[in-house]
């Protein structure tokens, strides 16, 4: 993946700076779903609705408030199999959940219990931090400092004096984050197993343009 670090008109000194901040996650988002197929639409609705209620009760039993559980509307569609000719299987009803956990040590137990309660699809676990906004600001300041240091080095090597900042261009944080992952720099979920939180990496990048002062 290529991150554009250029400016259309060359002038002065243009440099790219990046920084990443690692933090221990304090939030886990568990994505699960209930998917049931029945010959009758009403029966598919009913068994799925029953599963939704059971999953919610299990999650409440782990001390997770309702506001931390997002549930989709029940979705119903016809289900077919294809093997030469299309054959009707039944009506498939689906409900999906995003369960936000603040007590990370309960993650494995919650996952086991919601599966036993009726969730038959597990979409994965995402670890995050609630202070991401503050961490992003810290990473941006560090990225600016890195760009300034690089510009000063270039100016010294070129035998010129560094002037004021006259151009600032933000680099998309998500694009930069993907670049870090592709190079193996992100440490998200780098523990011994899939449910080990590891570290969350917050990145920032900036392009700074400096004028050159004539000696």
Q: Which of 128, 147, 173 is the last residue of a domain?
A: 128
Task: Classify residue 4: in a domain, yes or no.
Answer: no
Q: List phi, psi (to 5°) of 103.
A: -95, 95
Q: Are 170 and 147 in contact (CB under 8 A)?
A: no
Same domain, 162 and 141: yes
Which pLDDT score, from 0 to 100, does residue 192 have? 39
Same domain, 120 and 135: no
Same domain, 166 and 196: yes
Which pLDDT score, from 0 to 100, does residue 119 have? 97
Which pLDDT score, from 0 to 100, does residue 197 have? 74
Same domain, 52 and 121: yes
What's the whole-number average pLDDT of the chain? 89
Report the distance separating Cα 183 and Cα 30, nearest Å.
26
Q: What is the mean pLDDT of residues 8-13?
A: 73
Which pLDDT score, from 0 to 100, does residue 191 have? 39
Q: Are 23 and 200 in contact (CB under 8 A)?
A: yes
Per-residue pLDDT tens digits for 114-152: 999 999 999 999 999 999 999 999 999 999 999 999 999
How many domains is the chain partitioned into structurally?
Answer: 2
Task: Classify residue 52: in a domain, yes or no.
Answer: yes
Full domain range(s) for residue 142 = 13-25+131-213
pLDDT higher than 90, residue 175: no
Q: Which of 128, 153, 184 is the last residue of a domain?
A: 128
Task: Classify residue 138: in a domain, yes or no.
Answer: yes
Per-residue pLDDT tens digits for 151-173: 999 999 999 999 999 999 999 87
Q: What CATH number corresponds to the domain at position 83?
A: 3.30.70.2970
Per-residue pLDDT tens digits for 70-108: 998 999 999 999 988 899 999 999 999 999 999 999 999
Rg (CA), the chain: 25
Q: How confident is the model at residue 193 (pLDDT cuts 50, 70, 90)?
A: very low
Task: Classify residue 57: in a domain, yes or no.
Answer: yes
Same domain, 115 and 162: no
pLDDT higher than 80, residue 27: yes
Which pLDDT score, from 0 to 100, does residue 181 have? 59
pLDDT higher than 70, residue 195: no
Q: Are 101 and 31 in contact (CB under 8 A)?
A: no
Q: Which of 106, 128, 150 is the last residue of a domain?
A: 128
Beta strands in 46-178 (DSSP E): 69-71, 75-82, 86-101, 121-128, 161-171
Q: What CATH number corresponds to the domain at position 157?
A: 3.30.110.170
């Amino acid at each position: 993946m290529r991150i554009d670090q250029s400016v259309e008109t060359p002038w002065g000194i243009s440099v790219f700076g990046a920084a990443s901040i690692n933090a221990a996650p304090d939030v886990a988002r568990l994505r699960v779903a209930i998917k049931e197929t029945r010959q009758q639409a009403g029966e598919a609705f009913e068994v799925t609705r029953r599963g939704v209620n059971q999953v919610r009760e299990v999650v409440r039993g782990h001390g997770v408030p309702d506001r931390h559980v997002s549930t989709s509307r029940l979705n119903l569609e016809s289900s077919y199999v294809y093997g030469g000719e299309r054959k009707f299987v039944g009506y498939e009803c689906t409900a999906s959940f995003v369960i936000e956990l603040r007590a990370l040590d309960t993650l494995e137990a919650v996952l086991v219990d919601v599966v036993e309660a009726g969730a038959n699809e597990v979409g994965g676990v995402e670890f995050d931090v609630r202070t991401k906004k503050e961490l992003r600001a810290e990473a941006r300041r560090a990225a600016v400092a890195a760009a300034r240091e690089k510009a000063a080095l270039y100016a010294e090597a070129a035998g010129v004096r560094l002037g004021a900042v006259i151009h600032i261009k933000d680099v998309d944080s998500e694009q930069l984050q993907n670049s870090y992952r592709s190079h193996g720099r992100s440490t998200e979920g780098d523990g011994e197993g899939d449910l080990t939180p590891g570290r969350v990496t917050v990145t920032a990048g900036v392009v700074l343009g400096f004028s050159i002062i004539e000696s």
